[in-house]
Every structure is written in C-alpha cells, then in structure tokens.
Amino acid sequence: MPCWVDGQPGESLPVVDRGLAYGDGLFETIAVRRGRPLLLERHLARLAEGCIRLAIPGDLALIRSELLAFSAELGEGVAKLLLTRGDGRRGYAVSQPLQPRRILLGSPPPQYPPAHAEQGVRLHPCRTRLAEQPLLAGLKHLNRLEQVLARAEWQDAEHAEGLMRDLSGRVIEGVFSNLFLVRDGRLLTADLCRCGVAGVMRAEILDLAERMGIPVQVRDIALAELLAADEVFLCNSLYGIWPVRGFEGHGWPVGTLTRKLQAPIRKLLDS
C-alpha cells in the first residue's frame, strides 16, 4: 500500500513532529473507489475548518491535488490524510515559521460483514465518556485517546460499535460513527457543539434528508430518548449506514426511514 510524506513516497517521520508529540494536527479517512476519493469536497471543507480553528496553515489546493494523485495510485481502498503542525522544539509553544506536514497512508477496503448493513448491529454501552471542549468539538483532530479507550472496552463479536455519551450523559455518537434516531417520522442527531466528530457522512445524510423532505432536528439527546426511538442507525464515510437493532436490553426494528436513506447512500459509496 502506498505511503506519501509531503507529496513524496516515504515511510518515516522526524521524532520532533508535533503530531507525534502532542496530537497537534488533523486527519481525514477517505473512501477511494476506482481511483477517486469519495465525498472529497466534504472532507476538504472539514479539514479547512479544522485548519482555521487550530491555526494550521494548510495548503488546501496542494492537499487536493495530492489526494487526487494518491487516490489514482491507490485505486481501491482507504486514503488516510494526516496534517500535522510540523516539527517543533520541546514544549507547547509553536515554533515559527510553521511548516505543516502532509501524510497520506493507503490501506485496502475494509471488509465489514454484509449483515451489519442488512440486519443491523448491537451497540456496546461505553463507560468512557467524551470530555466537553467546544474549541475542539466537531473536529477530527489527532488526539483519539477517548476512542481508543472506548474501543478497548469490548472484544466480542456481538457488538460492532459502542455508544459514547458526554460527561453530562447526553447521547453523542459511536466510537467511529455518528448516530441518528427516528421518532414519529423525524430524524434526530446530536448537537456536536461540546464534543464529538462532525462526520462527513452525517453531513451528507442531513442534506439528503432535507432534499427528501424528511424533518430533521440537531439537538441534545438524552439516553431515555434514544431508548424510546422508533429506529436508530449509525453512519460512517466508509460503510454508509448500519441500522442499530440492539443496545443492552433494548431493541429496535430496521425501519422504513432507515432503509429509505440507506439506498441512496449505498449507491453513492458504490459509484
């Protein structure tokens, strides 16, 4: 699988890179089909927002051109883009001038069981809670220790994902997915103003629902509201939509609205 560093083939980094030392950077995980990166504009828009909020001077035109060339070489699989702040001296202070580092890693397409999309998955109740930090909320920054700890909570094949809540107990997302509820024909997803990752597939589904005339609410969601939902599903830019059929002692059917959204998303990922 290919690996590029700053536009050139390479597999090593300086030990003084701030992404390694502090998680000081951003990343995007991009599905590649027939040499083409899917949802590229959404990935770049989120990356651009992250660059603004973290004050990393990312060259989006250069990143775009490298992603297109890298995807063409990869053909089929996943392109992971990492943008770090670059090298730095000891300490948190940022060295000037900044020279951000671009890393592209290729991997094969993930082999998720087809049953996840067709029959649905069960959620593990994660004990690890998401810290509330509005300055970083929504960003896909390099510090993923909360997700690492949450994913380590289960090893069984019964659970394909975990439910993550914030410190106040609000329902936020999965460990590597965003979460949607259906109640009385309305689509609900968590407000990510305090924590969580604003996924590109989440954004795609919100736009799709609007075009299809499906009422949508983005707001705080309590655990009791999740348990009372008519349908629940997860989404991710690599697998699309997975219905959720169970969480602890609660269960949901694979409903009509989930299927209605799942069909065009599957077509998008297969295109």
Active-site amino acid positions: 29, 140, 173
CA 74 to chain centre: 21
Which residues is 8 bridged to in the sheet?
A: 5
Q: Encode 84-136 in three state secondary structure.
A: ECCECCCCCCCCCCCCCEEEEEEECCCCCCHHHHHCCEEEEECCCCECCCCCC
Preceding peptide of 97 cis, ω within 30° = yes
CA angle, 238 as apex, 11 and 65 as ends, to 5°? 50
Cβ 217 vs Cβ 188: under 8 Å: yes
- Angstrom CA distances, 261 to 65, 154, 169, 236, stand at 31, 29, 28, 13
Rg over alpha carbons for the chain, rounded to the nearest Å, is 19
Compute φ and ψ for 219, nearest 5 degrees: -165, 175
- Angstrom CA distances, 112 to 118, 145, 258, stand at 11, 23, 19
Distance CA 81, CA 48 (A): 13
Cβ atoms within 10 Å, residue 8: 7
